[in-house]
Amino acid sequence: MAVTFREIKADILGKITRGEWRPGELIPGELDLAESYGSARATVNRAMRELADDGIIERKRKSGSRVRLSPVRQARFDLPILRRELEEQGYIYRYALVRSEVVEASDWLRARLSLAPGVRVLHLVCLHFADGTPWQHEDRWINLDLLPQALDADFTKNVPTEWLVSQIPFSSVEISISATAADAGLAAHLGCATGDPLLMTERSTRWNAQTVTFVRLVHRPGHRMTTQY
């Protein structure tokens, strides 16, 4: 049975999400792809056109097709990059990794993110600073089934959000904003008193119905959030 354009599209997406074809990398030409898939060039062309329409690849005449450096989804919604936000406000940004561990996803995390039993996640706890003052506490879980390359990333140097944006596009994001109170751990990290009211943002990011990451961000006392549409 001849391979379909949907199967070709899914295979190319798989190569991109697994990191076989990196952001900015040139993709083989349509004739080469048609030969490797044993399909007509027109079938490959349709798969490539849909990938371009989805914002996954960028096609240019004569220079070929490349994996997009940033998915087109970000033209409609940017994942906040804290470094950029703080530097634009004139602050000196600093980042620190507090803890990194590989664990099996707990029941609550599997339920929250629709993960199968036994899935391993990379759990990161980080702090972000503005002019040396604690600004944001980050508690993050990365799905290693989808992004095994996270195991090799040096998160003492790579800020998780910035690294994730460079590795994989996203197709949907869910954000919840709520109030919380500082427990002893958060109070120590954010330099506030136990029981102080804090703003908490929870965000889950998905790619083709698979969860990429879930992060819980707790902001310093007095933090103000502004959005523009």
What is the third-level CATH fold of 5-67? Arc Repressor Mutant, subunit A (1.10.10)
Q: Is the pLDDT of residue 73 over 60?
A: no
41: how many CB neighbours lie within 10 A of its CB? 13
pLDDT > 90 in the chain, percent = 46
Query: What pLDDT does 77 receive?
Result: 44
HSE (side-chain half, CA atoms, 13 Å) at 140: 27
For the chain, which residues make up each domain, given as ranges?
5-67, 75-219
Report the candidate in 165, 175, 92 with the shortest Cα–Cα distance to residue 129. 92
Query: What pLDDT does 135 receive?
Result: 93
Q: What is the pLDDT of residues 109-167, one digit of tens each?
A: 998 888 889 999 999 999 999 999 999 999 999 999 988 999 999 999 999 998 888 77
pTM for this one? 0.68
Alpha-carbon gap, residue 150 to 160, rounded angstroms: 9
Query: What pLDDT does 82 receive?
Result: 86
Query: What pLDDT does 221 receive?
Result: 83
What is the third-level CATH fold of 75-219? Chorismate lyase (3.40.1410)
DSSP 78-135: PPP-HHHHHHHTTPPEEEEEEEEEEEEPPHHHHHHHTPPTT-EEEEEEEEEEETTEEE
**Would strands 210-219 and 120-130 be described as parallel, antiparallel, or unpaired?**
unpaired
Q: Is the pLDDT of residue 22 over 80?
A: yes
The answer to which of 26-35, 43-52, 96-105, 168-177 has the lowest mean pLDDT is 168-177
Query: What pLDDT does 7 receive?
Result: 86
Query: What pLDDT does 74 receive?
Result: 43
Residue 143 tokens read as 């799905």
Determine phi and psi for 58, rounding to 5 degrees. -125, 125
